[in-house]
Amino acid sequence: MTEEPEFIYGVFKQEIKNRFLCSVEIDGETVTCYVPSSCRLSNFLDMTDRSVMLTPVTNPKARTRLALYAVKYGRSYVPINLANSNRAVEQQIYRRYFSFLGKRKNVTREMKIGDYKCDLFINDTNTIVEIKSLLAFEKQAVFPTVYSERAVKQLEQLSALLDQGYPVCFMMISLSTTVKEISINREIEDFYRLFAECVNKGMKFRGFSLRLNNDGIEISSVVKMNV
């Protein structure tokens, strides 16, 4: 499991105009904190007055001393840093959840194959693992929610790598355990077309959810994926 630093708790007040900043009340003081997400959190959840977990920022040149880590939803906290997905899969890839990948004792992070950078590369089988994070709170979610030129280009590259004989696995990681099913968004036509093309060429796809507990972040359950 992923080891995490000691947490600080506060109450979320508002997102600041700069999308990477927010205001949090900690022990009666309003503190500006870093938000490690390229999307505004209010797009997914009403954050006002929700309890949040924060971690210290270690970079001495950073604009804030604290970073938002998780938000309380229901009875549990949901991690909001999308980087947690890659880290969790890398550290827990030995678990039975990932047995479908075969031998996986030698794994490299962010390995480049031509112009494509793998999230993970399993050297034992030359398998490319592409990991996408999903922040949603409904049982049934779609991905992607908006058009992304970068995501479309990645699928074009994966399609070419499949032609070269590389095994590919596309993983969707829900940051919330409330999501039980993820569908590839047919309305994002380029992404859907290329995703289906890659699946037809043999790309595997799997969905999982993360859970935050006293030991850190762990892969907690399988999430159904639909194409």
Q: Where residue 47 sits, what CATH number does that domain have?
A: 2.40.50.580
CA distance 42 to 170: 27
- Residues 58 and 121 grouped into a single domain: no
Q: Can you give the residue range of the structural domain that contains 214?
A: 83-226
- The number of distinct structural domains making up the chain is 2
β-bridge mates for residue 210, sequence order: 219
- C-alpha triplet 81, 47, 44: angle, nearest 5°: 65
The residue behind tokens 């790598």 is 161
pLDDT at 1: 46
> Which structure tokens are listed for 37?
């997400």
Three-state DSSP class for residue 42: helix
Q: At which of 30, 59, 79 does a domain end?
A: 79
The residue behind tokens 């994966």 is 158
- Residues 33 and 98 grouped into a single domain: no
For residue 3, being part of any structural domain is answered with: no
Half-sphere exposure of 167 (CA within 13 A, CB side): 15
- Residues 128 and 89 grouped into a single domain: yes
- Residues 67 and 142 grouped into a single domain: no
For residue 202, being part of any structural domain is answered with: yes
For residue 23, being part of any structural domain is answered with: yes
Q: At which of 64, 79, 94 does a domain end?
A: 79
For residue 2, being part of any structural domain is answered with: no
- Residues 131 and 209 grouped into a single domain: yes
Taking only the tens place, the pLDDT of each residue in 117-175 is 999 999 999 999 999 999 888 999 999 988 889 999 999 999 999 999 999 999 999 99
Q: Which residues, 6+ apart, have CB-to-CB distance to 83 below 8 Å?
A: 36
> Which structure tokens are listed for 173?
């990681």
Q: Where residue 91 sits, what CATH number does that domain have?
A: 3.40.1350.60
Percent of the chain surpassing pLDDT 70: 98
Taking only the tens place, the pLDDT of each residue in 67-117 is 999 999 888 889 888 778 888 999 999 999 999 999 999 999 999 999 999
CA distance 154 to 128: 12
Tell me the CA distances in angstroms from 147 to 15, 151, 153, 185, 190, one per residue in order: 23, 8, 11, 10, 9
- Region of residue 88 (left: phi > 0; alpha: psi -120 to 50; beta: else): alpha
- Residues 36 and 92 grouped into a single domain: no
Taking only the tens place, the pLDDT of each residue in 15-62 is 888 778 999 999 999 999 999 877 778 878 888 899 999 999 888 888
For residue 47, being part of any structural domain is answered with: yes
- Residues 167 and 108 grouped into a single domain: yes
For residue 1, being part of any structural domain is answered with: no
For residue 140, being part of any structural domain is answered with: yes
- Residues 88 and 50 grouped into a single domain: no
- Residues 112 and 204 grouped into a single domain: yes
pTM for the whole structure: 0.85
- Residues 72 and 121 grouped into a single domain: no
Cβ 210 vs Cβ 173: under 8 Å: yes
Distance of CA 73 to the CA centre of its chain: 17
- Residues 24 and 64 grouped into a single domain: yes
- Residues 203 and 151 grouped into a single domain: yes
Q: At which of 79, 98, 115 does a domain end?
A: 79
Q: What does DSSP say about strands 140-143 and 181-184: parallel, antiparallel, or unpaired?
A: parallel
pLDDT at 50: 93
For residue 75, being part of any structural domain is answered with: yes
